[in-house]
Chain A
């Protein structure tokens, strides 16, 4: 007996259309030149061009924007995951003084509004000379991605029975051998999902990225919001840039789709 009642199936179909329309519209505008867009309103682009995409790939301002974004996102993901792995292992295997309070404190950091940290970050990073560098943004994002990684990894790791740790000790393996050759391989899909979520969170954020970068390390997200006002509304190029920022997520999400939901729920599902 399928429990999917007719109503929910219709609503699902409707919502899918609701999701696809704006994305479709982004693509159509990205395929039309700015003049064409301003001209006649067309549902389907009559003479699509790839000029906007070419503009993005060649124009140094846009191109550099992508490179800057990718650099601090990768830096952030590397730091967060490598720092979160030992912490998540310890949280899932041991009870220790203040473990609950610490786990809660991490949550409050994940939930902290970025706006609150604009001011102090700006001052902190400029005082230690890190302003306008990818490292600044990477470290700033760690405030969110490290707690995110610890929660997700801990959620997955507590699914692995502790008897496996006992068995490795009884077999005579050193902790390091167990951690690298047994425990991490067992959790490789968890690590994959965590990397995906760190990448996405850091890739998506605008406020801190804009505040902590000047001209040198300006990421794509900032380039997009700034150019709108500077050279008038070049909608075509903006839409093309939008398509490029959407692509990384869609390409990777297929590989982590089984664990996607557990990642969104901070490992708690």
Chain B
């Protein structure tokens, strides 16, 4: 069990938070840019950072220990490899530090290179590899360390679209097999669902909420938490709820139905009229953007995005009667 206590991710934050990362579990830390993800990674790894807080690994306190003395491996966002060493030497680096004997080291390097699909490149220098291969090398080196805690700081964000999708699936099985406690940071909610046994939401250097992906998706406690779990963010319901400043009602883009779509009429359906101002089709999904005016004619007007699977013929300027289930409406705190 990896515990962190009274963590303040930047000097401007006063209220610290505690969190426990269950042993062998994979936690996805989800947050926008500058939300403190990298500071948390550096705190866990023992690298110099603004973040402050205690780090406990089981009974052993790591807070004052240097990275060398902690059993932590890291994969950085920029593909960080030793430019003057070959691929094989890069993977063997942690084994060298652990004084593993020659034979064992060669065997581990060979098997990891095979697992990550870079066994044909062992004698190459990192500069001769593609982006994807360089990140696979960095992952192989992190796995070679056989550390108890594995930290990956947005490892795939610099990769091509198709490469990212393939590596996420590969990482899921790879990281599970290590049995290590894994912390994986990302800005994409799809990673939270794909990789996260647990998810921790960060917003402006503070922990907003933590739990299983589905729990956070169904019951976000605040607007910020709700925004993080779907891409594009949630739509605020127009009308009465806005003036009460302690809370608001919102709906996720994928929970709004276009007219003629709801096969069985459900009891507590709510209807909102939207003036469409643009339509985007990405092949497997359609995004409809528009302005929604609440039907109890208050001036309050919201901009909504509706996200539906498949192709839908909607034209700009059209008025749509959108329907949504009462249960899907989220009751959120404003902070």
List the interface of chain A (C-beta within 8 A of B). 161, 163-164, 166-174, 177, 182, 185-186
Contact = CB atoms under 8 A, between A and B. Distances in A.
Given A161-B78, A163-B80, 15 more contacts: A167-B76, A167-B80, A170-B45, A170-B67, A170-B68, A171-B94, A171-B97, A171-B141, A172-B67, A172-B94, A172-B98, A173-B68, A173-B97, A174-B68, A186-B82
A262 to B, nearest CB: 18
A182 B84 contact: yes
Interface string B75-88: 01010111111000
B322 interface: no
A174 to B, nearest CB: 7
A170 B46 CA distance: 9
Contacts of A174: 68
Contact of A169 (B67, B78, B81): B67
B68 A169 contact: yes
Nearest to B99: A172
Contacts of A161: 78, 80
Contact of B145 (A166, A171, A182): A171
A172 B94 CA distance: 6
Looking at chain A's contact residues, is the secondary structure mostly helix, strand, loop, or mixed? helix
Contact of A186 (B74, B83, B141): B83
B235 to A, nearest CB: 39
Contacts of A166: 42, 45, 47, 67, 74, 76, 80
26 contacts: A161-B78, A164-B80, A164-B82, A166-B76, A167-B74, A167-B76, A167-B81, A168-B82, A169-B67, A170-B67, A170-B73, A170-B74, A171-B96, A171-B97, A171-B141, A171-B145, A172-B68, A173-B68, A173-B96, A174-B68, A177-B97, A182-B82, A182-B84, A185-B84, A186-B82, A186-B83
Contacts of A171: 93-94, 96-97, 141, 145
A156 to B, nearest CB: 13
Contacts of A173: 68, 93, 96-97
A172 B81 CA distance: 15
Contacts of B74: 166-167, 170
Contacts of B42: 166
A163 B151 CA distance: 14
Contacts, number: 59
Contacts of B73: 170
B112 to A, nearest CB: 14
Contacts of A163: 76, 78, 80
A62 B93 CA distance: 53
A174 B69 CA distance: 11
Contacts of B83: 186
B11 to A, nearest CB: 15
Interface string B27-71: 000000000000000100111000000000000000000111000
Contacts of A182: 82, 84-85
Interface string B138-168: 0001000100000000000000000000000
B229 interface: no
**CB-based closest 3 A-B pairs:** A172-B97, A169-B67, A163-B80
A169 B74 CA distance: 10
A177 B68 CA distance: 12
Contacts of A167: 74, 76, 80-82
Contacts of B47: 166, 169-170
Contacts of B145: 170-172
Contacts of B45: 166, 170
B225 interface: no
A167 B42 CA distance: 11
A173 B76 CA distance: 18
B76 A169 contact: no
Contacts of B46: 169
B324 interface: no
A164 B78 CA distance: 11
Contacts of A168: 82, 93
Contacts of B80: 161, 163-164, 166-167
Nearest to B151: A170
